Amino acid sequence: MPLKNAIDLTGRRILLTGAAGGIGAATARACAALGAAKLVLADNGPMDDLCDELRDQGVDISPHQCDVSRRQDNADLVAAAGDIDAAVACAGICPLEEDWADDPEWDQVFHRVMDVNLLGPIHLVRELLPRMAARGGGQIVLIGSIGGRMGGTSPIVQPHYIASKGGVHALIWWLAQRAAPQGVLVNGIAPGPIATTMTATTPYPKDRYPLGRIGEPEEIAWPAAFLCSPAASYFSGSILDVNGGLFVG
- pLDDT tens digits, 50-92: 999 999 999 999 999 999 999 999 999 999 999 999 999 999 9
CB 84 within 8 A of CB 11: no
State yes or no: pLDDT of 246 exceeds 70.
yes
Structural domains in the chain? Answer: 13-242 (3.40.50.720)
* Arithmetic mean of pLDDT, 27-38: 98
Q: Please, are residues 144 and 165 in contact by the beta-carbon 8 Å criterion? A: yes
Q: What is the pLDDT of residue 151?
A: 79
Mean pLDDT of 159-166: 93
pLDDT value for 1: 65
Q: What is the mean pLDDT of residues 189-197?
A: 91
∠ CA 160-166-167, nearest 5°, is 90
Q: How far apart are CA 189 and CA 184, in angstroms?
A: 17
| Integer-rounded Cα radius of gyration of the chain | 17
109: exposed, middle or buried (Cβ count in 10 Å: 0-12, 13-18, 19+):
middle
Q: Which residues are catalytic?
A: 145, 161, 165
102: pLDDT strictly greater than 80: no
* Structural contact between residues 143 and 92, judged by C-beta atoms closer than 8 angstroms: yes
Q: pLDDT value at position 97?
A: 67
The whole-model pTM stands at: 0.94
Asked if the model's pLDDT at residue 215 lies above 80, the reply is: yes
Using DSSP, state whether 172 is helix, strand or coil.
helix
Non-local CB neighbours of 67 within 8 Å, separated by 6+ positions = 44, 73
pLDDT at 31: 98
CA distance 204 to 96: 13
The C-alpha atoms of residue 139 and residue 36 are separated, in whole angstroms, by 14
Closest CA to 239 of 104, 142, 110: 142
